[in-house]
Structure 1
Amino acid sequence: MTDLQITGLAKSYGPAARVLDGLDLTVPGGALTAVLGPSGCGKTTMLRIIAGFLRADAGTVTLGGRTLGGPGVHLPPERRRIGIVPQEGALFPHLSVARNVAFGLTALDRGQRARCVEEMLELVGLAGYGDRMPHELSGGQQQRIALARALAPQPQLVLLDEPFNALDSALRAGVRADVRAALQATGATAVLVTHDQQEALSTADLVAVVRDGRVAQCATPEEVYRRPADPWVAGFVGDAVTVTGTAQAGTATTALGSIPLADPPGGLREGLVLLRPEQLQLAEPASTQAQGTVTDVRFYGHDAMVTVTVDGLREPVEVRVPGPALVGPGGRTGIRVTGEATFHPASA
Structure 2
Amino acid sequence: MNELDVRRVVKAYGPGAPVLDGLDLSVPGGALAAVLGPSGCGKTTLLRVIAGFLKADSGSVSVAGRLLGGPGVHLPPERRRIGIVPQEGALFPHLTVARNIAFGLRDLGRADRRARVGEMLDLVGLPGHGERMPHELSGGQQQRVALARALAPRPHLVLLDEPFSALDSGLRGAVRAEVRAVLRESGATGLLVTHDQQEALSTADLVAVLRAGRVVQCGTPEALYHRPADPWLASFVGDAVLVPGTAEKGTATTALGRVPLASAPDGLRDGLVLLRPEQLRLAEPDAAGAGASGVVTDVRFFGHDAMVTVAVDGLDRPVDVRTPGPPGQVPGRRVGIRLTGEATLHPHTA
Task: Name the TM-score class by shorter chain.
Answer: over 0.9
Give RMSD over aligned pairs: 1.1
1-side partners of 2:266 and 2:231: how far apart? Answer: 19
1-side partners of 2:203 and 2:184: how far apart? Answer: 11
2-side partners of 1:47 and 1:212: how far apart? Answer: 15
1-side partners of 2:244 and 2:17: how far apart? Answer: 35
1:248 and 1:268 in contact (8 A); partners too: no
Greater Cα shift, 337-346 or 144-153: 337-346
Q: Alignment partner of 2:83: what SS?
A: strand
In structure 2, what is the equivalent of residue 60 of structure 1? 60
TM-score by length of 2: 0.98
Task: Write out per-residue CA displacement over residues 40-99 of structure 1, whole angstroms, 9 at most, x where no aligned residue.
Answer: 100000000000000111111011111100111100101000000000000011100000
2-side partners of 1:108 and 1:20: how far apart? Answer: 38
Are residue 322 (structure 1) and residue 324 (structure 2) matched? Answer: yes
1:248 and 1:266 in contact (8 A); partners too: no
Cα displacement (A) at 1:264:
3.5
1:2 and 1:30 in contact (8 A); partners too: yes
In structure 2, what is the equivalent of residue 302 of structure 1? 304
User: What residue identity is the alignment partner of 2:246?
Assistant: T
Are residue 290 (structure 1) and residue 319 (structure 2) matched? Answer: no
TM-score by length of 1: 0.98
Following superposition of structure 1 onto structure 2, how do residues 59-208 of structure 1 map, counting pairs within 5 Å?
59-208=59-208
Give aligned-pair identity as a percent: 73
Aligned length: 348
Q: Which runs of 4+ in 1 moved over 6 A?
A: none
Q: 1:314 to 1:52 in 2, by over 3 A?
A: same
In structure 2, what is the equivalent of residue 331 of structure 1? 333
User: What residue identity is the alignment partner of 1:282?
Assistant: L
Q: Alignment partner of 1:229: what SS?
A: coil
In structure 1, what is the equivalent of residue 279 of structure 2? 279
2-side partners of 1:267 and 1:3: how far apart? Answer: 37
2:36 and 2:43 in contact (8 A); partners too: yes
2:11 and 2:21 in contact (8 A); partners too: yes
Unaligned 5+ runs, structure 2: none
Q: Alignment partner of 1:106: what SS?
A: coil
Cα displacement (A) at 1:115:
1.0
Cα displacement (A) at 1:234:
0.3
User: What residue identity is the alignment partner of 1:4?
Assistant: L
2-side partners of 1:217 and 1:188: how far apart? Answer: 23
Cα displacement (A) at 1:345:
2.6
2-side partners of 1:110 and 1:264: how far apart? Answer: 61
2-side partners of 1:261 and 1:2: how far apart? Answer: 38
Unaligned 5+ runs, structure 1: none
User: What residue identity is the alignment partner of 2:216?
Assistant: A
1:249 and 1:266 in contact (8 A); partners too: no
Greater Cα shift, 225-234 or 265-274: 265-274
In structure 2, what is the equivalent of residue 225 of structure 1? 225
In structure 1, what is the equivalent of residue 28 of structure 2? 28
2:263 and 2:343 in contact (8 A); partners too: no
Task: Write out per-residue CA displacement over residues 195-242 of structure 1, whole angstroms, 9 at most, x where no aligned residue.
Answer: 101100110000001111000000001110111111011000011000
User: What residue identity is the alignment partner of 1:90?
Assistant: A
Q: Alignment partner of 2:2: what SS?
A: coil
Cα displacement (A) at 1:16:
2.4
Q: Alignment partner of 1:185: what SS?
A: helix
Cα displacement (A) at 1:268:
5.9
1:3 and 1:26 in contact (8 A); partners too: yes
Q: Alignment partner of 2:274: what SS?
A: strand
Are residue 340 (structure 1) and residue 342 (structure 2) matched? Answer: yes
Q: 1:263 to 1:125 in 2, by over 3 A?
A: same
2-side partners of 1:339 and 1:308: how far apart? Answer: 20
User: What residue identity is the alignment partner of 1:107?
Assistant: D
Cα displacement (A) at 1:33:
0.2
In structure 2, what is the equivalent of residue 18 of structure 1? 18
2-side partners of 1:76 and 1:201: how far apart? Answer: 32
Cα displacement (A) at 1:13:
1.2
